[in-house]
């Protein structure tokens, strides 16, 4: 299992309700992806939200974005600026990656 976590800060002119709806639409589009366990968003204060995507593994390519996912991502980006993103892997995957490196 792996997580991709990203922080999104509302643009000054963006409506909070529209931002929440855009984040929800993006999460719904992401959940349609094979290998995606869940996609949720959380408010971190009135102007920041955090997207948490749980995937089977980090092997699922981010480049294989579907049309709905690309569309909802750009709507989200029109309303908020992604300020930070991290990809987390569970200890088992981390160990497998370490061994793959010949360690």
**pLDDT tens per residue across span 27-52:** 999 998 887 899 999 999 999 999 99
pLDDT on residue 94: 80
Q: Is the dihedral of CA 58, 63, 69, 72 positive or negative?
A: positive
Write the pLDDT tens digit of every residue in 6-18. 999 999 999 999 9
**What ranges in the chain are assigned the alpha helix state H?**
16-31, 67-79, 91-100
pTM score of the predicted model: 0.84
Delineate the domains of the chain, giving CATH numbers in brackets. Answer: 2-100 (3.30.70.100)
**How many angstroms separate the CA atoms of 75 and 94, rounded?**
33
Q: What's the pLDDT tens digit per position in 70-82?
A: 999 999 999 999 9
Q: What is the phi/psi pair of residue 22, to 5°?
A: -65, -40
Confidence of residue 62 (pLDDT cuts 50, 70, 90): low
Which one has a higher pLDDT value, 55 or 97? Answer: 55
């Amino acid at each position: 299992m792996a997580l991709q976590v990203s922080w999104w800060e509302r643009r000054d002119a963006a409506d909070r309700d529209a931002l929440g709806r855009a984040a929800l639409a993006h999460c719904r589009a992401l959940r349609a992806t094979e290998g995606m366990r869940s996609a949720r968003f959380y408010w971190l204060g009135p102007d920041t939200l955090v997207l948490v995507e749980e995937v089977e593994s980090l092997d699922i390519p981010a480049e294989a974005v579907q049309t709905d996912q690309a569309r909802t991502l750009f709507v989200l980006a029109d309303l908020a600026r992604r300020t930070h993103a991290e990809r987390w892997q569970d200890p088992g995957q981390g160990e497998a990656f370490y061994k793959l490196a010949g360690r």
